[in-house]
Amino acid sequence: MELVALLVVESRGPMALAQVDILGASTLKRTVESLGAAGITQVAVVSAETPGETYLTPAKIQFVKSSAEQLWRDARSAFASLTVVRPEAVLLIKLNCYAEMDWKAFLAKHRAGKHPVTRAWASGVHALDMYLVDPRAEKEVEFLLHNQLRHPRLIATRYQVSGEEYVHPLLHAADLREIAVDGLNLECQMRPAGREVKPGVWLADGSRIDEGVRLVAPLFVGKRARVRTGAVITRGSSIEHHSLVDCGTVVENTSILPFSAVGAGLDFTHAVVGNRQVVDLKRNVAVEIHDSTLLAETAHNAGVRVMSKAAALVTYLPMQFFHALAQRNPLPKLAEGACANDFVSTVINEREPRGKETALPTRALPKLVMERYGNQ
C-alpha cells in the first residue's frame, strides 16, 4: 500500500523558517529526503515561497505555490490530489519543527491504533502538528485542515516520540541557532552539508577561506561562502551558502543566513544575521540594518554577482585614491557608507611612539581614546 505525505510550510514574518538553510540544507529538504528514505512514495509541499533546492529522494515531489491567505485552501486541494492513488495513510505535517522521526514506527503505531487519526507527541505533553490519517475519514481530514492541524476533531491515537528521535520547534530565529548548534555538536542526526576538513570544521564545496582566518570548531561554512582575511569564526557558528564575512569580523555562536554580506571589522555574537536583519538572541530583539557597510544582501542571481564583482574590481583603485584623500583631512568627514571602525583603525594605525606625544598635536588627540580604553 502506498503512503503519501502533505507538508504545509507557514511563513512567520519575512520568511518561512522551514525553508531557511541550517548547516547547508533547509528543514524542508531534510524532511522530504527523510520521508523518501522511509518509503513514502509521494510528497506534496504547499508553501508561499518557491523552494530553490534540489531534492535527492526517490519520492515523487509536487510543489504547490501558494500565498499566506490561500495556504490552507491549497493544502486541501493538494490533499485531494494526493488521495487519487488511494494510499493507505496520509502523513499531514505542518513544518513548524525540525523532526528526525522514525516514520516506520509512526506508521506501525497508526496501523495498531483504533482511531483514524494518529498524532505525534514529543517528550512530555508537547503535541506536534504531525498526523497520520486514514484518507477515508473525510470529516476528520476536513476538520484537521480547516483548523490548520492544531488539533483533531475526536480522540487520536498517540504516538510518543522516543528518546532516540529528535524534535526541535522551529518558530523563532533562536530555534535556527539551537538546531545548528545541536547539529554541529552531533546531538542529532543532522550533519552539515560539507566535508569535515578538521575535527568539527565543516566546509562545503566552493567555500573560500582566505589566509589569516581563525576557525575554531565546531563551525560550518557553506557552498560558495567566503570568509575574508583576519576574520574569526568560532563557537558553533554557521556561514550559509553565498555569504560573505569581511575582513576582521568576529562571528561567534552566530548563524549568517544565505546571501548575506557582513561588513568589515564587526562583531556578531549570539545572533542570527540575514535578510538585512540582525536578531540579537541575548536581548531577544531584531534590528533592521539599512547600512550596506554593516550588512548587505548578495545577489541571488549568479550573473549579477559576477557583474558586481567585476565592477568592484574596476573601481578598486579609484576608491583607494579617494580613501587616501579623505584620510588627509584633519577631521573625519561623514561620507556615505563611512564606517566607524575605519576611523578607529585609522587612529590605531597612526599611533606614534610615546615619546612624541608630549605636544598633543591635533591629529594625535583621538589616540587618547584608544590609550584610555585600550585598543579595541
Partner 1 sequence: METSRPVIVKRMPGVMNLRESRAFLRDVQPILQSDRPQLVFDLAQVVRLDAAGVEVLVHCMSEAMRRDGDVKLAAVSPQAAVVLEMTRTDRLFEIYQTSTDAARSFSAFLPNTIRRKELQPLAA
CB of 362 to partner 1, least distance (A): 8
Grid cell digits, residue 302: 549568479
Q: Residue 140 and residue 361: Cα distance in Å, rounded?
A: 81
How many C-beta atoms lie closer than 10 Å to residue 34's C-beta? 17
Does 217 bind partner 1 (CB under 8 A)? Our answer is: no
Distance CA 146, CA 55 (A): 29
C-beta of 176: minimal distance to partner 1 in Å?
11
The reply to whether 15 sits near partner 1 by the rule CB under 8 A is no
Residue 350 in the binding site for partner 1 (CB under 8 A):
no
Residue 224 has which C-alpha cell? 560558495
Minimum gap (Å) between residue 174 Cβ and partner 1 = 6
Cell of 345: 583603525
Check residue 281 for interaction with partner 1 (CB under 8 A). Answer: yes
Which is closer to partner 1, CB of 157 or CB of 255?
Answer: 255
Distance between CA atoms of 29 and 51, rounded to whole angstroms? 9
Residues 239-258 that bind partner 1 (CB under 8 A): 253
> Cβ of residue 202: shortest distance to partner 1, in angstroms?
18
Q: Distances in Å between the alpha carbon of 39 and those of 12, 36, 107, 162, 312?
A: 30, 5, 11, 20, 49
Q: Is 376 in the site for partner 1 (CB under 8 A)?
A: yes
> Smallest Cα–Cα separation from 5: which of 109, 131, 187?
131
For the bound state, the minimum distance from the C-beta of residue 283 to partner 1, rounded and expressed in Å, comes to 5
Q: Which residue, 72, 228, 57, 215, is CA-closest to 143?
A: 72
Q: Is 228 in the site for partner 1 (CB under 8 A)?
A: no
* Rounded CA separation 361/346 (Å): 16
346 near partner 1 (CB under 8 A): no
Q: Per CB under 8 A, which of residues 145..174 are in contact with partner 1?
A: 174
Please tell me whether the peptide bond between 87 and the residue prior to it is cis, using omega within 30 degrees of 0: no
**Given candidates 163, 336, 355, 358, which one binds partner 1 under the rule CB under 8 A?**
336
Half-sphere exposure of 152 (CA within 13 A, CB side): 24
- Residue (28 or 294) nearer to partner 1, CB: 294
Q: Interface residues with partner 1 (CB under 8 A)?
A: 174, 177-178, 181, 236, 253, 265-271, 278, 280-285, 287-291, 293-294, 331-332, 334, 336-341, 343-344, 347, 362, 365-366, 368-369, 372-374, 376
